[in-house]
Amino acid sequence: MPVLEITAGIGEVDYSTVKDACVCVARIDQTERDLSARGLMVTAERGTVKNGTATIAAQYRSQLSRYIRELSLSPSSRTAITSPAPDDDDSDIWD
């Protein structure tokens, strides 16, 4: 979080969203391990079927993609962030 606070402007209010994004990453890793171990197609009661873990992985990836956009963590979303224009007026705000 300290790096994200500096680089992406993420604050304390975003902690729960970042935590959920981290859970998504962990679950994606878990589903990928299962897919690597058992394969995309598995044998079930009704024969060879698609491993249900693939569907779960896709759902977590979709959710993670939303978090990445919402937290401005993708390269394209960071380019949309602009810094405020410098104040050309040299006068003091108290004048």
The yes-or-no verdict on residue 84 having pLDDT over 60 is no
What's the pLDDT score for residue 37?
96
Q: Which residue has the tokens 């197609």?
A: 41
pLDDT band at 81 (very low <50, low <70, confident <90, very high): low
The DSSP code sequence of 66-78 is HHHHHTT-SHHHH
Q: What is the pTM of this model?
A: 0.69
Polymer length in residues for the chain = 95
The residue that leads in pLDDT, 95 or 20, is 20
Asked if 3 and 13 touch (Cβ cutoff 8 Å), the reply is no
Which pairs from 42-47 meet CB under 8 Å and 24+ separation? Answer: none
Q: Strand, coil or helix: what is 44?
A: strand
Q: pLDDT of 1-54, one tens digit each? A: 666 666 666 777 788 888 899 999 999 999 999 999 999 999 999 999 999 999
